[in-house]
Structure 1
Amino acid sequence: MRNSTCLLQPSLATTVALPVIYSFLFPAGSFGNILTAWIFSRQVPTKRTQYIYSANLVAANLLVCSTMPFLAAYFARGYQWTYDSGACRIANHLGTLIIHVSMYATIIILCSTALSQYATLRKNSDTQYSQAANETFYRCVLEKFCQSKFAKYFCIIIWLTVFCITVLAIAYNVQVESTEEFQRCYSVRVEIGDFSTMIAACFATACFFVSFITVLLAYYSLTRHLSKIQKNTCIEKRHLIYSTVKRNILVIQMILTICFLPYHIFRPIFYVLRTSNDCPQLNYLVEIKNFLTCLAAAKSSLDPVINVLSHRRVKKSLYGLFTKSTPEHDKRKADIFTQETLEM
């Protein structure tokens, strides 16, 4: 590796700001996601498709949050650790590796949630598309995402993939550690990796953009579909339902755009510019990468806030925690179709 001789020198932004941010995100995200999981376990039918996606999303969020103490310690003291120390191995394996793998599990689950909501709306829509190709695609692909059995097995496949990737990556890192020696933990080897790391990063980036474009197309197709319905039929009774589905998909799109898109735009730039022999530039690139990773990880801590703002069932459950009883009319108010379709 051409930059292997470059000695990374973390600035105060890395050794102070990042540990503080992760130390704040960890308790906030852990408490919020545990509370959300408790609400889902008590209030939501476990066989519903949206519950399956939401429960797995909460699990992915908790896994990301669990890595934050290791990352905080790594950025605060990693430049003082030796590469073969136990602290460095734990931070590298339980911090950097798992947070990235869990991040892509989150992205895939978010994409699946958007497709599920869109497919369910199509399934219950009065107006059908005239194009046979669209109908075939819907029945063969999209319809699967609103089936609870498919959602369950799809999430199992996601977690099996996460487990296999994690085990293989740890085994590979252990093998490299036994054949090479490095001076410091906060180094080019950890922050950039080798050629195999770059290949894995390129594949993960491609997966993100596929998911990003898929959600974007779902939102665009939904907008067009609702426009066609409004021209042909009266949808006043279901206007709230359609608007909620559209809003939920838009929220997912905004999460992908704000939290994940900057990191994945910068990643190809990072791997192109890292070949330079300019060591100060490499330090800046590494620190930008780490802050953009932190931005992506922050999504897991912000999810509970989004649930409170977006989902009526979560609001009602939180209201019940701080009052003696939930008003009776609130229990009868929920629309059946909305409950079956929209709550994530």
Structure 2
Amino acid sequence: MNNSSCLQPSPATTVALPIIYSCLLPAGIFGNILAVWVCSRKAATRRTQYIYLANLVTANLLVCSTMPFLAAYFAVGHRWPYGSVVCRIAHHLGALVMQVSMYVTITILCSIAFSQYATLTKNCGTQHCPALPRNFCGHLLHQFRRPKFAKYFCGVIWLIVLCITATVITYNVQERVSGELLTCYNIKVEAGERPEIIAGSFATACFFLSFMAVLWTYYSLTRHLSRIQRNTSIGEKHLIYRTVKRNILVILMVLTVCFLPYHIFKPIFYVLLTYNDCPRLNYLVEIKNFLTCLAAAKCSLDPVITLLLDKTFKKSLYGLFTRSTPEHQECTNDIFNEMGRNMERSS
């Protein structure tokens, strides 16, 4: 029995996944375009946080652009001939672009957490600041709050993404179509070959390293704030720490809810993957696809999270629709300006 006949999608794949992607698409497109519109009118483009935000929105829009291809692939991909034009388009513009864009969003989310944590040590006394290690890691954390570093860092990320995408597409275009694979929905597309498995394992390891680093920043801030509460009263400057702690917690929750299940299951998927047990093969592939959909849903949640947690963004958005917002009011989705003003007043 070949892979095409063994791997057969259930209604959960052919009906539920296309519906979910079709619902996520307008929400993600509208929310991220609205975020671009609001922040382009109100934000200072030289701010570090806005550089990360602009790249995050770009990655979100790229993920959204793959959703029509993914919806079509899951709906009728089991009828497309393997090697056909529509199959290659869905595979390249759907799965591949979505995967690389997903890791761009993970990297930028972690960068935002690092930059906010490092900003707390700027222009304040050591008794009020969480101490950064005086080594390479501490120096690197400080770099994340610099606009020049943020521009170069995001540029390097997109360059790596472009190289990976071009390499994989070139390899797949030159690949000969095997007669054993009849349909586009097959185990080779779903699980990948050895180079893709190695790349996926490396990406999973990088995710867990980034996740643990963000978890360390949250733990460090929590411990520092607890020490402040025991020794002194909570002043205006200390409320800034709570704001940063809340924002890092949101990033940590997004990584935990949207991305952690997928990356926990990914090694399990490769370990349990077998070509002889068709029921197990179908269950594993469908679980993987739904967890991938959960990760893709994050691009539609970003604007909602920004709106709920960032008061400046909320006021700027309200002002654009009511035409009553003052000219000097900025939408940045960052707290850098607010922290600088409060630290100056309290020092």
The normalised TM-score by structure 2 is: 0.90
| Matched ranges for 1:121-270 at <5 A | 121-128=120-127, 134-137=133-136, 139-176=138-175, 178=176, 180-181=178-179, 182-270=181-269
The equivalent of 2:80 in structure 1 is: 81
- What is the rounded CA distance, in whole Å, between the counterparts of 2:309 and 2:257 in structure 1? 17
- 8 Å contact from structure 1 (residues 64, 300) kept in 2: yes
Percent of residue pairs identical: 64
Confirm or deny that 1:49 pairs with 2:48.
yes
Tell me by how many angstroms 1:189 deviates: 1.1
Amino acid at match of 1:294: C
Amino acid at match of 1:237: E
Post-superposition CA distance 1:89-123 (Å, at most 9, x none): 11000000000000001000000100000000122
The equivalent of 2:58 in structure 1 is: 59
Q: 1:329 to 1:159 in 2, by over 3 A?
A: closer
Tell me by how many angstroms 1:180 deviates: 3.0
- What is the rounded CA distance, in whole Å, between the counterparts of 1:179 and 1:214 in structure 2? 42
- What is the rounded CA distance, in whole Å, between the counterparts of 1:131 and 1:290 in structure 2? 41
Post-superposition CA distance 1:145-189 (Å, at most 9, x none): 11010001000000001100100111111222x253431000111
Q: Which runs of 5+ in 2 are unaligned?
A: 343-347
- 8 Å contact from structure 1 (residues 3, 277) kept in 2: no
Confirm or deny that 1:111 pairs with 2:107.
no
- What is the rounded CA distance, in whole Å, between the counterparts of 1:88 and 1:36 in structure 2? 33
- 8 Å contact from structure 1 (residues 48, 340) kept in 2: no
Query: What is the aligned residue count?
Result: 338
The equivalent of 1:277 in structure 2 is: 276
SS of residue in 1 equivalent to 2:322: coil
- What is the rounded CA distance, in whole Å, between the counterparts of 1:78 and 1:175 in structure 2? 21
- 8 Å contact from structure 1 (residues 74, 91) kept in 2: yes
- 8 Å contact from structure 2 (residues 121, 130) kept in 1: no
- What is the rounded CA distance, in whole Å, between the counterparts of 1:286 and 1:337 in structure 2? 46
Amino acid at match of 2:272: L
Post-superposition CA distance 1:253-279 (Å, at most 9, x none): 000000000000000000001135211
Tell me by how many angstroms 1:329 deviates: 11
- What is the rounded CA distance, in whole Å, between the counterparts of 1:139 and 1:296 in structure 2? 30
Tell me by how many angstroms 1:125 deviates: 3.9
- 8 Å contact from structure 2 (residues 83, 177) kept in 1: no
- 8 Å contact from structure 2 (residues 132, 138) kept in 1: no
| Matched ranges for 1:10-49 at <5 A | 10-49=9-48
- What is the rounded CA distance, in whole Å, between the counterparts of 1:341 and 1:123 in structure 2? 12
Query: Which segment drifts farther, 224-233 or 305-314?
Result: 224-233
Amino acid at match of 2:257: I
- 8 Å contact from structure 1 (residues 78, 185) kept in 2: yes
Amino acid at match of 2:202: F
Tell me by how many angstroms 1:234 deviates: 4.6
Q: 1:79 to 1:341 in 2, by over 3 A?
A: farther
- 8 Å contact from structure 1 (residues 129, 135) kept in 2: no
Query: Which segment drifts farther, 315-324 or 28-37?
Result: 315-324
SS of residue in 2 equivalent to 1:134: coil
Amino acid at match of 2:63: V
Amino acid at match of 1:40: C
- 8 Å contact from structure 2 (residues 82, 177) kept in 1: no
Tell me by how many angstroms 1:327 deviates: 6.9
Amino acid at match of 2:26: P
Post-superposition CA distance 1:260-304 (Å, at most 9, x none): 000000000000011352111100100000000000000001111
The normalised TM-score by structure 1 is: 0.91
- What is the rounded CA distance, in whole Å, between the counterparts of 1:23 and 1:102 in structure 2? 18
SS of residue in 1 equivalent to 2:251: helix
- What is the rounded CA distance, in whole Å, between the counterparts of 1:131 and 1:302 in structure 2? 30
Q: Which runs of 5+ in 1 are unaligned?
A: none
- What is the rounded CA distance, in whole Å, between the counterparts of 2:52 and 2:29 in structure 1? 19
Tell me by how many angstroms 1:139 deviates: 4.9
Tell me by how many angstroms 1:239 deviates: 3.0
